[in-house]
């Protein structure tokens, strides 16, 4: 009750501490590293085995820190408004794919000669989602045809120009967390020529932002994934990889295979042809396993 009465402008210093349960095995270290490798300056950071990021919530910004507990994910939240607690927890569970059934995934992918060896090295692999599908859609456009590191840099520049400063007493919690990611509304009328990316990609970004802001593309909870993908593909500059990546990570579809992804193609070049259709209904997990295989010695990452 004390937390509920606290002023909205002075979040508790220690935050709200929660234990987020999950079932089965979980490759939490691999997942946090995946998120850390893609951390956007100002919005996310990863250090000391802890992933932290800002959140844009219905009643104001928040900050979350996620790390491993003994049999749970340790979640620490700092909220502008305590009424956002349920929304924040839902987003964190989606981000870490905590409601997955790893045994069901392993039953299909474990016997596979390509994916089985990787799964044995990375038991409990999950398919990381996102805290905000709209943010993920913008970042997917920024990530077109560039490296992960370059995409981080571009997103950081976008945040510094169009993001919203944390304020409300949250900005001093962690020096690296200063802004929430730029909202679709803030990007709709942005100048594509001032985004440090090709103008055509900048236009694609503003088209995506405008479509989300206006509701022409619905990425909210319970949206129709097929319809969302269809509407994304109708936008200028949005191809199958971008729409598929949004569907996989933003909308939590467990059965998306990014066959044109550079990392996926590189992994399959190492292993040879693979029966990708047989990986359904867990092809999103197969995609993550193929990405993970690139970080393993070849004799361990291939069949």
187: three-class secondary structure by DSSP = helix
pLDDT at 222: 92
Among 65, 63, 74, CA closest to 22? 74
pLDDT band at 12 (very low <50, low <70, confident <90, very high): low
| DSSP one-letter code for 132 | -
What is the domain partition of the chain in residue ranges? 2-98
Mean pLDDT, range 67-78, rounded to an integer: 96
Catalytic residue, chosen from 81, 171, 255, 261, is: 261
Q: Does the pLDDT of residue 16 top 80, yes or no?
A: yes
Neighbours of 4 (CB within 10 A): 9
- State percent of the chain over pLDDT 70: 93
Q: Which residues of 251-262 are buried (b: 16+ CB within 10 A; e: fewer)?
A: bbbbbbbbeebe
pLDDT at 159: 96
pLDDT band at 300 (very low <50, low <70, confident <90, very high): very low
CB 219 within 8 A of CB 250: yes
pLDDT in tens, 106-156: 999 999 999 999 999 999 999 999 999 999 999 999 999 899 999 999 999
CATH architecture assignment, domain 2-98: 2-Layer Sandwich (3.30)
Q: Does the pLDDT of residue 84 top 60, yes or no?
A: yes
pLDDT in tens, 205-258: 999 999 999 999 999 999 999 999 999 999 999 999 999 999 999 999 999 999
Q: Does the pLDDT of residue 303 top 70, yes or no?
A: no
Position with higher pLDDT, 238 vs 301: 238
HSE value, Cβ hemisphere, 13 Å, CA-based, for 26: 25
pLDDT band at 204 (very low <50, low <70, confident <90, very high): very high
pLDDT band at 1 (very low <50, low <70, confident <90, very high): very low
pLDDT at 13: 58
pLDDT at 253: 98
pLDDT at 297: 59
Q: Does the pLDDT of residue 263 top 80, yes or no?
A: yes
* Active site annotation includes 261: yes
pLDDT at 239: 96
Residues in the chain: 303
pLDDT at 6: 41
Q: Does the pLDDT of residue 8 top 80, yes or no?
A: no
């Amino acid at each position: 009750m004390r937390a509920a009465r606290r002023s909205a402008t002075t979040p508790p210093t220690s935050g709200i501490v929660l234990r987020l349960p999950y079932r089965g095995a979980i490759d939490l270290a691999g997942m946090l590293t995946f998120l850390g490798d893609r951390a956007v300056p100002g919005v996310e950071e990863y250090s000391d085995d802890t992933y932290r990021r800002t959140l844009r919530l219905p009643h104001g910004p928040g900050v979350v820190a996620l790390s491993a507990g003994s049999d749970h994910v340790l979640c620490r939240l700092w909220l502008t408004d305590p009424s956002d607690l349920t929304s924040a927890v839902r987003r964190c569970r989606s981000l870490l794919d905590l409601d997955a059934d790893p045994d069901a995934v392993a039953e299909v992918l474990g016997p596979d000669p390509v994916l089985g060896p990787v799964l044995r090295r990375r038991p409990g692999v999950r398919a990381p989602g996102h805290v905000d599908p709209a943010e993920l859609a913008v970042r997917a456009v920024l990530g077109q045809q560039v490296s992960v590191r370059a995409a981080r840099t571009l997103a950081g520049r976008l945040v510094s120009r169009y993001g919203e400063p944390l304020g409300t007493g949250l900005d001093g919690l962690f020096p690296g967390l200063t802004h929430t990611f730029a909202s679709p509304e803030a990007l709709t009328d942005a100048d594509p020529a001032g985004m440090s990316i090709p103008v055509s990609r900048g236009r694609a970004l503003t088209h995506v932002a405008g479509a989300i802001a206006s509701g022409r593309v619905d990425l909210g909870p319970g949206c129709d994934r097929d319809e969302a993908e269809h509407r994304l593909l109708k936008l200028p500059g949005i191809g199958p990889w971008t729409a598929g990546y949004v569907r996989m990570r933003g909308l939590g579809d467990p059965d998306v295979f990014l066959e044109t992804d550079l990392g996926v193609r590189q992994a399959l070049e190492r292993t040879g042809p693979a029966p990708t259709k047989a990986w359904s209904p867990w092809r999103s997990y197969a995609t993550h396993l193929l990405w993970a295989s690139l970080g393993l010695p070849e004799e361990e990452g291939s069949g």
